[in-house]
Structure 1
Amino acid sequence: MRVLGLMSGTSHDGIDTAVVDWSMDGGTLTGRLLSLGERRYPDELRARIVAALPPHQVSMGEVCALDTLIGREFAAAAEGAGPADLICSHGQTLYHWVEDGRVEGTLQLGQPAWIAERTGLPVVSDVRVRDVAAGGNGAPLVSYLDLLLLNGIEGRSGALNLGGIANLTVREPAIAYDTGPACALIDAAAPPYDVDGRLGAAGTVSRDLLDELLAEPYYRREPPKTTGKELFTPDYVTSDLPQADLVATLTALTAQTVADEIRRHRLDTVVVSGGGVRNPTLMRMLGERTGARLVVSDELGVPSDHKEAIAFSLFGWLSAHGLPATVPSCTGADGARILGTMTPGSGPLVLPEPLAEAPVAISFL
């Protein structure tokens, strides 16, 4: 079954696409990567998304407009991604509602009807809210894919995604959570991002500012937990440091908070993905602070820039076959849940026969 995964993350710069042809033999699920792509948001739309993120206030009219405009962009991305049987769309997260450490709700915009109209294909969407309704954080959902990927790696292993927010999955015992910012604060200090980590490499880390930032209460909360740009806003750090020193300090903040968690779980091997992989200064700082072997996910057949789009392709396949796509110990939910709502395509909605057993291993071609 060919499933197109559509993903736009906390960097909100565009839409990643991944068409994967999934087949299962015994307990092993094999994914054949048919196409990978990216569609950048138009500058005007990206500016409107940024203006709608916390701590900004927006009208319901703007929420409605963004739901439509983002949906149209996702539809255009889907149309250009190649043939598929089903689409699973993440949409664009605008808000993650957290009170007293508990996730009460989550909002992803990008109306799936536009995707279904443009492509004629059924669309699975709104995938996070079912986990939230079951008492979970709605994140990190990618932990399901992570645990399959980590199966078979010797020693204590984990998977790290360095997007806008950093999340870590630990294989044994199975747990996953957001460690804090990955590139979000770095990008805010060096918009749109620190190309090749040059600013971070040129600057000097401010120990005083780093110690102040490390006092953030979130880092001391016990997992499972999740965070986002509702906490780590572009205005989270105010400093009169030279730009290079500020970027170096924020890069060190990401490296330190991630490394603390890697050491906490005594991980030998960490599979790394996300945009932060392309920041050599961040990767160097991370390596210096841990004794773990850092392996880019490409070495396991999963291109690091498209790992989350591949994960959403997987979630679409799981939902279509009646299988849960969450790990309760990773999200904090009461139990595993089948994710998403289904928008029919141009014809009758026809789903495969439900599968009785979930995959226990995964491979990619």
Structure 2
Amino acid sequence: MTQAEGLYIGLISGTSADGIDAALVRFGADESVSMVASHAHPWPEALRTRLIALGQGGPLNSLEEYGTLDIQVGEQFADAALTLLRGANVDIKDVRAIGSHGQTIRHRPYGAAGDGKFPFTLQIGDGNLVAERTGITTVSDFRRRDVAAGGHGAPLLPALHQALLHSATENRVVLNLGGIANITLLPAKGEVRGFDTGPANALMDAWCSQHTGVAFDAGGKWGATGEINEALLARLLSDPWFKAPPPKSSGREQFHLEWVKSHLQDDLRPEDVQATLLALTVQTVADAIAATQPDTARLLVCGGGVHNASLMSALQKTMDKTKVESTAAHGLDPDQVEAMGFAWLARQTLLGLPGNLPSVSGAKGYRVLGTVAFA
């Protein structure tokens, strides 16, 4: 069996920080990719609360806190991998490597001042600790090499989308509805592109939590009781970020509750704001696709937002000439596509192959991504 074959684990906690997704993936000699098992690992609530605050631009209290959080997050990622293997009854020795994304706490590809100077992206969750705890070679810190090469370090999964979801007969778009929405343009012929389109679950979850005490709006039912406020929607859409050309990426530090509140002028019902935030996600996705691949035949959706029936329905209504469906219709669990992607990226790294697409991130060239902690 070659290094290209065998079992790999992918681990990620996305912008929403709603848990760690763990996927055990088998790669075949024929480049086939199949999901063997998956696991959704919950965050301890106090740790999740702190990570969300940091992701929204909150300050670190000290270097000591940073170091502690790095280890705490690494411990949770290691636990997620070990729990996954126990559930699948797979021996540690049978896994070639782990691809561990970590938790993003700050993403500034434009630089801290937004002037392009000193761009950086920061994910925590010590890969050395994951390797030590699991006994499995671990690849982590995937994004910074791309940023160092002039890219955004995001999105990183369009290469996987191309491998698994491209069609030679129709133009497709893969839409990941995580905390932030991002798209991969998969034309039947031509170059693959991709970029973030704006907020998705992060804003809706935060608003729902603040006003209902529930972590997220299951199925979009609460927001469906509200009405879209067109004036608020227009103010939100006026943010210059939406007009910026790709490549571009974002995070909670750009789109957070204070950003929403800065656009509120009227005494609106909370459910009306929730409905408007959903409309913001739909409109920015639809606008981005119309501007970059207007003849899209099929929109394949993954990420937590695929379970929001109101959101999926609104996407189909707005994009009435495009078929909108879950990646599940093509054999890919929508909740695990990102985790599968980091298993694939770990494999790329160990094979000495690039993991980025310059046409997506804006990097100066192809780069082998990540830092390896050997078992």
TM-score (norm 1): 0.91
Between the aligned partners of 1:163 and 1:101, the Cα distance in structure 2 is: 27
Indicate yes or no: 2:322 matched with 1:295. Answer: no
Deviations 1:278-322 (A, max 9, x none): 001111111111121112111222100011000001111111111
Structure richer in helix, relative to its length: 2
Tell me which residue corresponds to 1:94. Answer: 105
Deviations 1:155-184 (A, max 9, x none): 221111000000011123321000000111
Which of residues 5, 10, 16 in structure 1 aligns to 2:15? 10
Between the aligned partners of 1:313 and 1:306, the Cα distance in structure 2 is: 11
Q: Which amino acid aligns with 2:69?
A: L
> Which runs of 5 or more residues in structure 1 are unaligned?
346-365
3-state SS in 1 of match to 2:335: helix
Q: Alignment RMSD, CA only?
A: 1.3
Q: Which moved more, 1:74-83 or 1:201-210?
A: 74-83
3-state SS in 1 of match to 2:336: helix
Shift of 1:112: 1.3
Between the aligned partners of 1:77 and 1:277, the Cα distance in structure 2 is: 23
| Matched-pair contact (CA < 8 Å) for 2:16–2:52 | no
Which of residues 131, 145, 149 in structure 2 aligns to 1:116? 131
Tell me which residue corresponds to 1:361. Answer: none
Tell me which residue corresponds to 2:307. Answer: 278
Between the aligned partners of 1:181 and 1:227, the Cα distance in structure 2 is: 8
Between the aligned partners of 1:101 and 1:77, the Cα distance in structure 2 is: 38
Between the aligned partners of 2:82 and 2:129, the Cα distance in structure 1 is: 11
Q: Which amino acid aligns with 2:306?
A: V
| Matched-pair contact (CA < 8 Å) for 1:71–1:111 | yes
Q: Which amino acid aligns with 2:21?
A: D
Between the aligned partners of 1:234 and 1:79, the Cα distance in structure 2 is: 35
Tell me which residue corresponds to 2:281. Answer: 254
Over 3 Å counting, the alpha-carbon distance change for 1:101 and 1:288 in structure 2 is farther
Indicate yes or no: 2:55 matched with 1:40. Answer: no
Tell me which residue corresponds to 1:208. Answer: 231
Q: Which amino acid aligns with 1:190?
A: C
| Matched-pair contact (CA < 8 Å) for 1:101–1:225 | no
Structure richer in strand, relative to its length: 1
Between the aligned partners of 2:249 and 2:54, the Cα distance in structure 1 is: 20
Deviations 1:95-128 (A, max 9, x none): 0123347481110000112211211111000011
Between the aligned partners of 1:258 and 1:101, the Cα distance in structure 2 is: 26
Shift of 1:32: 2.5
Aligned residue pair count: 342
Between the aligned partners of 2:316 and 2:142, the Cα distance in structure 1 is: 34
Tell me which residue corresponds to 2:78. Answer: 75
Tell me which residue corresponds to 2:212. Answer: none
Q: Which amino acid aligns with 1:236?
A: W
Q: Report matched runs for 1:45-64 at 5 Å.
A: 45-58=47-60, 59-64=62-67
3-state SS in 2 of match to 1:135: coil
Between the aligned partners of 1:257 and 1:5, the Cα distance in structure 2 is: 29
Q: Report matched runs for 1:150-299 at 5 Å.
A: 150-152=165-167, 154-172=169-187, 173-191=191-209, 192-238=215-261, 239=264, 240-264=267-291, 265-266=293-294, 267-290=296-319, 291-299=321-329
Which of residues 324, 334, 344 in structure 1 aligns to 2:354? 324
> Which runs of 5 or more residues in structure 2 are unaligned?
1-5, 210-214
- Percent of residue pairs bearing the same amino acid type: 40
Shift of 1:153: 5.1
Q: Which amino acid aligns with 1:258?
A: V
Indicate yes or no: 2:33 matched with 1:22. Answer: no
Q: Which moved more, 1:14-23 or 1:78-87?
A: 78-87
Deviations 1:213-247 (A, max 9, x none): 01010110111111111110232111331111010
Deviations 1:22-49 (A, max 9, x none): 1232xxx111211111110011111121
TM-score (norm 2): 0.88
